């Protein structure tokens, strides 16, 4: 069944992606993330994500969760640099209930003072939890080093200082300026009647058309690519391993080279047959776990490699990683390896689309990013069209010294 996109009141878009399933997933995607914040409001998008679960005039917090879990469903949300998503996955006969609850949260969140104060402490504990995870610290420090002059480099959850300076009125003001119909995509994926689902969504979200932006919601601080990267950052923690996060900042999601970059990423560090896994772990025993990641934003991107290793092995591990990056810049990927990696990516993508939640995330995130409906077939054909020359060319475009940063989290002297 072919998905379709409809526009309802105020420019809100609704993606209908029916398929054979016993369940249905509904997601509300809002173009509001950490890059849209200021230093003073850092973390407010993520904090609002938490607070939308804390009640409306007609529902207490526990009512929201029980209404979904009581039907065997799952309810969650997530915030990134450029978007926030609220989603429900439950048996197919409860679609109307899911839309009713999500629309109530989106339109009528009440931000009660007692819940605000309590949940602020929860988010601060979440920040402290991440600070205890060395790989998370290395990754956050890397992003700040790559984008030192832009909010896209800041931690998504904000800081304890920024959170303690907020009040419920700040959240309401921010929500009014960002949770707008033109910034919102609703996705319904799974087993449902498309016409009935569209009528249900349109009816429940009709009140959103009254919302208007006071100013553009686009990110603050100019281009994320302005200013130099910080070449190296280091932190010490009471850990046994050294964490390495090596990264390069690069182009955004609309760049036609994104497919070549995705294939390059898979060649280097996706899966146990990837070059980095084989060289760093299997051949040299320098790390238990190593992987790469290609991440795209609207106007920039990040290629990163992460690994944990003994402090004494860290220089060799980094040198081995760099050797693999140099190799992919100077020698074309063989036809056999290229074909294998493409099938790996396409197979993973196809299997993920057997899950209705994966379909939901795919259509919601791509529509927000591209402003149009992207089909799975387009993604597959984009991967299939990549040549060995394309991979080498994009590697040379990405692995430029001035766009590189290395983030370390090392054991404290007393912990060695």
**Catalytically active residues, by annotation:** 49
Q: Would you call 105 exposed, middle or buried from its count of C-beta atoms within 10 A (0-12, 13-18, 19+)?
A: buried
Angle CA 386–350–5, to nearest 5: 90
> Three-state SS across the chain?
CCCEEEECHHHCEEEEEECCCCEEEEEEEECCCHHHCCCCCCCHHHHHHHHCCCCECCECHHHHHHHHHCCCCEEEEEECCCCEEEEEEEEHHHHHHHHHHHHHHHHHCCCCHHHHHHHHHHHHHHHHHHHCCHHHHHHHHHHHHHCCCCHHHCCCCCCHHHHHCCCHHHHHHHHHHHCCHHHEEEEEEECCCHHHHHHHHHHHCHHHHHCCCCCCCCCCCCCCCCCCCCCEEEEEECCCCEEEEEEEEECCCCCCCHHHHHHHHHHHHCCCCCHHHHHHHHHCCCCCCEEEEEEECCCCEEEEEEEEECHHHHHHHHHHHHHHHHHHHHCCCCHHHHHHHHHHHHHHHHHHCCCHHHHHHHHHHHHHHHCCCCCHHHHHHHHHCCCHHHHHHHHHHHCCHHHEEEEEEEECHHHC
CA distances from 245 to 128, 137, 138, 317, 329 (A): 20, 10, 6, 11, 20
- Tokens (6 digits) for 121: 């402490």
Residues found in the chain: 416
CA–CA gap between residue 233 and residue 273 (Å, rounded): 30
């Amino acid at each position: 069944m072919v998905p379709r996109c409809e526009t309802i009141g105020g420019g809100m878009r609704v993606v209908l992606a029916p398929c054979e399933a016993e369940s249905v997933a509904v997601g509300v995607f809002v173009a509001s993330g950490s890059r849209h914040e200021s230093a003073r409001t850092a973390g407010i998008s993520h904090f609002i994500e938490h607070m939308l679960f804390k009640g409306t005039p007609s529902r207490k917090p526990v009512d929201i969760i029980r209404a979904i879990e009581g039907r065997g469903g799952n309810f969650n949300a997530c915030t990134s640099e450029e978007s926030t998503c609220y989603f429900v996955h439950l048996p197919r006969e409860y679609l109307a209930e899911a839309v009713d609850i999500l629309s109530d949260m989106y339109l009528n969140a009440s931000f009660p003072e007692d819940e605000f104060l309590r949940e602020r402490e929860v988010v601060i504990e979440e920040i402290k939890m991440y600070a205890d995870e060395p790989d998370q610290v290395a990754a956050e420090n890397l992003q700040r080093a790559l984008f030192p002059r832009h909010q896209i480099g800041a931690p998504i959850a904000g800081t304890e200082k920024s959170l303690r300076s907020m009040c419920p009125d700040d959240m309401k003001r921010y929500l009014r300026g960002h949770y707008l119909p033109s910034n919102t995509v609703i996705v319904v994926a799974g087993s449902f009647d498309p016409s009935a689902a569209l009528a249900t969504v349109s009816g429940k979200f009709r009140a959103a058309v009254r919302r208007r932006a006071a100013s553009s919601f686009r990110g603050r601080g100019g281009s994320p690519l302005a200013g130099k990267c910080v070449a190296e950052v280091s932190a010490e923690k009471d850990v046994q391993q050294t964490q390495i996060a090596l990264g390069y900042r690069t182009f955004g999601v609309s760049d036609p080279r994104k497919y070549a970059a995705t294939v390059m990423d898979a060649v280097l560090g996706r899966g146990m047959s990837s070059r980095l896994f084989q060289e760093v772990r299997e051949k040299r025993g320098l790390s238990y776990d190593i992987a790469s990641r290609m991440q795209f934003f609207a106007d920039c991107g990040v290629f990163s490699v992460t690994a944990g290793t003994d402090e004494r092995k860290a220089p060799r591990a980094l040198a081995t990683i760099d050797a693999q990056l140099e190799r992919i810049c100077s020698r074309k990927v063989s036809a056999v390896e290229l074909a294998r990696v493409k099938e790996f990516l396409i197979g993973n993508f196809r299997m993920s689309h057997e899950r209705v939640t994966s379909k939901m995330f795919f259509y919601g995130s791509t529509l927000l990013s591209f402003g149009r409906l992207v089909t799975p077939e387009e993604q597959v054909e984009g991967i299939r069209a990549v040549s060995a020359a394309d991979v080498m060319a994009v590697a040379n475009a990405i692995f430029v010294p001035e766009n590189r940063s290395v983030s370390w989290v090392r054991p404290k002297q007393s912990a060695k």
